[in-house]
Amino acid sequence: MGMPKQKMIDLLYELMKNSRRSDRQLAKAVGVSQPTITRMRKTLEKKGYIYGYTLVPALDKIGFEIMAFNFLSADITEDFVKKIREWTVKSRKVIFSSLGGGLNGKTLAMVSIHKDFTDFSTFIHELKGSFTSEIKSIDSFLCSLKTDIIQHLSYTDLEKPQP
């Protein structure tokens, strides 16, 4: 007999609140035993519910000034998707990228982090240069990581869908 799905979701949300808590503390919060938490965590990892455990740093304190939301209009082919995936991994500035639709025909969204405007400008130049025939246009929305942040990136209080 398997663990009820709701307990797995509860564990996932408890981990999003604070993944540094011990299995004992998590067991108390979820309402199951400590060994059950250990098994549930391994199951969540194995089934791909957890991509990894990572902290969310204060990016401005480690030298980054800009978060860029880049929206691209591109000819989407299997080859392009493969090449853009490889390029984003190599660039080490992209923290999220996905195909999508909207914003006047944009087909790809990419979030990147930069130490300053020159770094961002170089990134966009390299992106355009690497995909001259595929990318039709790029629009970017730049956010300062040093000022005017309304809410920092966090999953701590993410709404839990009702079963």
Q: What is the pLDDT of residues 142-156, one digit of tens each?
A: 999 999 889 888 888
**Is residue 158 pLDDT above 90, yes or no?**
no
Looking at residue 38, its pLDDT comes to 94
71 pairs with which residues across the strands? 109, 139
pLDDT at res. 145: 95
Binned at pLDDT 50, 70 and 90, residue 3 comes out as low
Around Cβ 71, how many Cβ atoms within 10 Å?
19
Of 56 and 31, the structure prediction assigns the larger pLDDT to 31
**DSSP assigned state of 60:** G
Q: What is the mean pLDDT of residues 46-69?
A: 92
pLDDT of 124 reads 98
Number of H-type helices and E-type strands within the chain: 5, 4
The model's pLDDT over 69-89, given as tens digits with 9 standing for 90+, comes to: 999 999 899 999 999 999 999
Task: Provide the terminal-to-terminal Cα distance of the chain, rounded to the nearest Å.
Answer: 20
Average pLDDT over residues 95-106: 94
- 51 neighbors 95 (Cβ within 8 angstroms): no
> What pLDDT is stored for residue 26 in this prediction?
96
Per the CB < 8 A criterion, the answer to whether 145 and 114 are in contact is no
**Mean pLDDT throughout 9-22?**
92
Residue 5 confidence (pLDDT): 87
Sheet arrangement for strand 135-144: 94-102, 106-114, 66-74, 135-144
Q: Which pLDDT band, with edges at 50, 70 and 90, does 127 fall under?
A: very high
Tell me what pLDDT residue 163 has: 65
Residues 6+ apart with CB under 8 A from 80: 74, 131, 134
